[in-house]
Structure 1
Amino acid sequence: MKLLILGATGPTGRHVVDLALRSGDSVTTLVRDPSALGDLTEKVTPFTGDATSHRDIVAAAAGQDAIVSALGRGSSVRADGLFTQASAAVIGAAKEAGISRLVWLSSFGVGETFDRSSAAQKTIFRTLLRSIYADKRIADDRIRSSGLDWTVVYPTRLTHGPAKGTYSADDRLPMKGNPTISRADVAAFMHQAAHGSEWLHRSPVISD
């Protein structure tokens, strides 16, 4: 499968790239600084550009089968419009490039999932993550109404632990406290979702 991966140099995106390469996928990345790919540079097709740029995404998306976005703000608690701008650019570019499949990384607590959060989670979502989650909600709603074959993924709190492969994934999951899931497991789920139809037009919650 030919995949365009956004956010490839981030902690979750790097796992997606590694999994895709190991499974024999052809990987294209769109990154601001190709040198940040390190040893991946010779294994992928790198495009230099911005994930909020329609023009840059169209160039990188040519000939791809699917787009997988693992875009994130790192340790920042400010969205700065990243997700709203990137979602608009990705949707327009996907349609122009003739790509229907999109797997998009969001966060549990965004949009309707907030109502299903635990008390501990709600406190964090209302305060520390308020800006980012507001931006993500607009992006997620836009993707769901895009007409693309989308999957919007809602992981609980991300960790840097190893993949366990024992996580739960469903349209709804019961929440208690502040559960976690490793970025490696999230990447595995996203990669699998891109290759199958089980999660088409669904917004799965995933957690350990």
Structure 2
Amino acid sequence: MKLLVLGATGPTGRHLVDMAVRSGDSVTAFVRNPDALGDLAEGVTPVIGDATSQRDIAAVAAGHDAILSALGRGNSVTADGLFTRSSAALIGAAGAADVSRLVWLSSFGVGHTYAWASTAQKLIYRTVTRAIYADKEIADERIRNSGLDWTVVLPTRLTHGPAKGTFQADDRLPMKGNPTISRADVAAFMHQAAHSDEWIHRSPVITD
């Protein structure tokens, strides 16, 4: 497949790009700073752009089979409108470029999934991540109403641990405590979802 990856230099995006390249996909890495790709640069086509600019994304999106967004705020708890602005730009660009498949990384606890969270998770979601999750909720609903063949991926707390390959994925999963999943496993799921029809128009929760 020919994949366009947003957030390619982030901690989850790097895993996603590496996996896609090793799987034989043709990867366009949409980045602000191509130098940040480091050793991944040789296997991809880097394109400099702003993920909140519809014009920038539309300029490169045509001809791709799917767009995967691994955009994140890193360690910041400030939303800065990243997800609302990038979702609007991406939807407009995908429509203009006639690319229907979109895999979008969000978080468990956003929107309606807050009700399914454990007590420990809810405490974090209504305090530490409150602003970011509010921004993500608007973006996620916009994606779901976009008319695209979307998948909104909802991982529990992300870690930098190695891939286990034994994670759970379903439309709803029971929660206890503050469960985690590695970014490497999240990337593996996103890559798998892009190559399958199984998760189209679904919002899978994933966790170890």
TM-score class, shorter-chain normalisation, is over 0.9
**Corresponding residue of 2:39:** 39
- Native 8 Å contact 1:71 1:105 kept in 2: yes
Normalising by structure 2, what TM-score? 0.99
Match of residue 67 from structure 2: 67
After TM superposition, the structure 1 = structure 2 runs for residues 159-178 of structure 1, keeping only pairs within 5 Å, are 159-178=159-178
**Matched residue, 2:91:** 91
Deviates more, 1:139-148 or 1:59-68: 59-68
TM-score (structure 1 length as normaliser) = 0.99
Residue of structure 2 in register with 1:180 after alignment: 180
The separation in 2 between residues aligned to 1:24 and 1:184, in whole angstroms, is: 18
Q: Which runs of 5+ in 1 are unaligned?
A: none
Distance 2:45 2:205 in 1: 31
Give 1:124-203 correspondences, 5 Å limit: 124-203=124-203
For 1:64 and 1:2, the matched residues in 2 are separated by: 5
Cα offset, 1:62, TM superposition: 2.0
Which residue pairs with 2:115 in the alignment?
A: 115
Do 1:29 and 1:60's aligned partners in 2 also have CA atoms closer than 8 Å?
A: no
User: CA offset at residue 42 of structure 1?
Assistant: 2.2
Q: Give the Cα–Cα distance (whole angstroms) in 2 for the partners of residues 158 and 41 of structure 1.
A: 25
Greater alpha carbon shift after TM alignment, 43-52 vs 131-140: 43-52
Cα pair 1:83 1:139 within 8 Å, conserved: yes
Q: CA deviation at 1:39?
A: 1.6
Q: Could you give the per-residue CA deviations for residues 118-177 of structure 1, whole angstroms, max 9, x where no partner exists?
A: 000000000000000000000000000000000000000000000001110000000000
Which 4+ runs in 1 deviate beyond 2 A?
none
Match of 1:104 in 2: 104
1:160 counterpart letter in structure 2 = H
Q: Is the 8 A contact 1:55 1:93 kept in 2?
A: yes
Instruction: Determine helix, strand or coil for the equivalent of 2:43.
Output: coil
**CA distance in structure 2 between the aligned counterparts of 1:40 and 1:11, rounded to whole angstroms:** 13
Determine the C-alpha separation between the residues in 1 that align with 2:98 and 2:74: 30
Q: Structure 1: which amino acid aligns with 2:7?
A: G
Letter in 1 for 2:134: A
Q: Structure 2: which 5+ runs fail to align?
A: none
CA RMSD of aligned residues (A): 0.5
Mapping 1:13-32, distance limit 5 Å: 13-32=13-32
Residue by residue, what CA displacement relative to the aligned partner does 1:105-129 show, whole Å, maximum 9, x if unpaired?
0000000000000000000000000
1:76 match: 76
What code does the residue aligned with 1:40 have? Answer: L
Amino acid at match of 1:11: P
In structure 2, what is the Cα distance between the partners aligned to 1:42 and 1:124? Answer: 39
Is the Cα contact below 8 Å between 1:53 and 1:89 reproduced in 2? yes
Equivalents in 2 of 1:41, 1:196: separation in Å?
A: 26
